Amino acid sequence: MIELLNKLTQCYGPSGNEEVIREFIIKEIKEYVDELVVDPLGNLIARKKGNGKKIMFAAHMDEIGVIVTYIEKEGFLRFANVGGISPYFSLFQRVKFKNGTIGVIGYEEKIKEMKDLNIDKMYIDIGVKNREDAEKLINVGDVACFVGDFYENGNKFTSKALDNRLGCYILIEVIKSSANFSNDLYFVFTVQEELGLRGAKTSAFSITPDYAIAVDVTDTGDTPGSKTMALELGKGPAIKVKDNSIITHPFIKNLMVDTAKEKNIPYQLEVLERGGTDAGAIHITKGGIPSGVLSIATRYIHSPCETVDQDDVKNAVLLLSAIASKKFN
Ligand code: CO
Ligand code: ZN
């Protein structure tokens, strides 16, 4: 588990730049699936054929990042967000471009109060003297991801991009599991979730599954002074009831809850007051697709130190494999 998840999190892949992470996943799963397609937007669709229902499992492979908007004559890079970037979380973090260039995010120190800290008052310092030198390394429009090593801390993992390489990892483990699947399974590694569920929209349209389950990280309420939320690390994978993009279809919610109970897998119920994920786009595709989400409670989402519990990950793989193997009428 540790080695594969480590490699997945460390792959470069901000939204719209998923080539590296996609190639890595292709190598990892190609021996285990019947069909492998990269669609026009870049979604990776892996199929394990079966006679039962058409089920789509989706995990986004893109991560948040920053995009260069302007290069100052002193060589500092101005930037905008790719996905949900917090100025506070970004300050003094390292970012890494596709060509390996690393920069540090600084800010205009004349800002009086930290509440005035906005991304347009920040810059990336790539260690050059002037614009000319910067342009030898970086162009306007280049995109960087955050730097954040993967490490194991007790029973927890911390890394950048656990949102959502963790979901990719869970799908890969289900693909590799020797479970006797009775359904027609589509494992979709989507692009551009962080920009508005874009890859999920097109892939769900072309597949038109009978049912869909997205796998993604979600918030917790288990750190000092955190907001009230009924999720804790280590209490089991979370079955989403509602977020801002979807109310889980009752059939899918019951399917997940009943399967967890049958298999004695711990689970928690999730209501997320802000945010959404791929299922939000999938369930309103074509005539409507009953959909839900299996979430992993995660601390410090969209920071380089996202943190999850190992047992929640293992139990998510067990629950998803059991659902994939179910016989439906
Ligand atoms: Co995210
Ligand atoms: Zn996500």
CA-based nearest residue to 232, from 321, 295, 279, 277: 295
Domain 65-146 CATH assignment equals 2.40.30.40:
yes
pLDDT given at position 113: 84
User: Which residue, 203, 216, 206, 225, is CA-closest to 246?
Assistant: 216
* Active site (annotated) includes residue 113: no
Q: What is the CATH number of domain 2-63+160-325?
A: 3.40.630.10
CA distance 286 to 251: 18
CA distance 319 to 23: 27
Question: What's the gap in Å between 207 CA and the centre of ligand 2?
Answer: 21
Indicate whether this model's pTM tops 0.95: yes
The CA 136 to ligand 1 mean position distance, Å, reads: 31
Ligand nearest to the CA of 164: 2
Range of weakest confidence among 92-106, 169-183, 186-200, 251-265: 169-183
What is the tens place of the pLDDT at every residue in 121-160? 999 999 999 999 999 999 999 999 999 999 999 999 999 9
In the chain, where are the structural domains located?
Answer: 2-63+160-325, 65-146
Q: Which ligand is nearest to the CA of 61?
A: 2
Dist CA 194 CA 17 (whole Å): 12
Task: Express each pLDDT in 223-277 by its tens digit.
Answer: 999 999 999 999 999 999 999 999 999 999 999 999 999 999 999 999 999 999 9
Cα(262) to ligand 1 centroid in Å equals 31
If you measure from the C-alpha of residue 180 to the centroid of ligand 1, how many angstroms do you get, rounded to a whole number? 32
Which residue is catalytic, options 18, 63, 173, 193? 193
| Nearest-5° Cα angle at 232, 226 to 238 | 120
Q: How far is the CA of 194 from the centre of ligand 1 (A)?
A: 6
Q: Please report which ligand is nearest the Cα atom of 194.
A: 1
pLDDT of 219 higher than 80? yes
Q: What is the pLDDT of residue 111?
A: 85
